[in-house]
Structure 1
């Protein structure tokens, strides 16, 4: 249950502008310590104060884009958000040393956008459409 006092405290801490943005994007008044930012500009927050946040809702992401979805969170930050890792990636030495050098840059899922992968067929068609051959008429 969210209390009015929590909303007022968060407005005082973060300011009206950030509070309005949070209400627009995440639908909740949140205030916490920024623990890092990924390569896409998404910011990650944590608030461990039990008065302010319910257990399990104390880590969140503030997306940099207006049209956001979950695939815009890189795997290392996903593991931190879902409590698989205790420390955020900038502080976790294991996560920093885990990335193999051959691994390519992470990209978001582009399904449903213009950048989506579209396959093409290289096999010959099994059924060919009928194309009528018209003969010229004799005009008499």
Structure 2
């Protein structure tokens, strides 16, 4: 990242937003807000190809401080990676109503307290030894 690009981005987005971008994504970015998803994430696009490295002109600003990539919905994920040309807010295919059988999107919760943990209903094949202690002073019965 050049000094001229950094100064240009600070002028466009302001010092506070520039510092937040450097803290969270490690790069100074400036672009237009394309849309926001149901989880509160904001999606941006830089329309000037000379300002960015190829393939880095679209990015996401997560709504949570503790973020991971699974928080981007599939529609926005395809736009971020260049699979779709139009963002979901402008794409007529995505704008069609969702089928009623399609579940709402949830992020991957693996590694968190809310992760799915299966419960086994089958009894174990081997039973653990459960020792029973006799009270002292009693003889063993033959």
RMSD across aligned C-alpha pairs, in angstroms?
1.4
Taking structure 1 as the reference length, what is the TM-score of the superposition?
0.93
Structure 1 residue 129, shift from structure 2 partner? 1.1
What are the Cα deviations for residues 106-125 of structure 1, in whole angstroms up to 9, with x where unaligned?
Answer: 11001111110011110011
Which stretches of structure 1, 4 residues or longer, exceed 2 Å deviation after superposition?
132-139
2:77 and 2:130 mapped to 1: Cα distance? Answer: 55
Q: Which residue of 2 aligns with 1:7?
A: 6
Written as runs of structure 1 = structure 2, the 5 A alignment for 1:49-128 is 49-97=48-96, 99-128=98-127
CA distance, structure 1, for counterparts of residue 40 and residue 96 of structure 2 = 22
Moved more, 49-58 or 5-14: 49-58
SS of residue matched to 1:125: coil
Residue ranges of structure 2 left out of the alignment (5+ in a row): none
* Aligned-partner Cα distance in 2 for 1:57–1:133: 67
SS at match of 1:61: strand
Distance 1:98 1:79 in 2: 18
Deviation string, structure 1 residues 98-139 (Cα, Å, up to 9, x no partner)? 632221211100111111001111001111111223333239
Q: Report the number of matched residues.
A: 138
**Which residue does 1:131 correspond to in 2?**
130
TM-score of the superposed pair, with normalisation by structure 2: 0.92
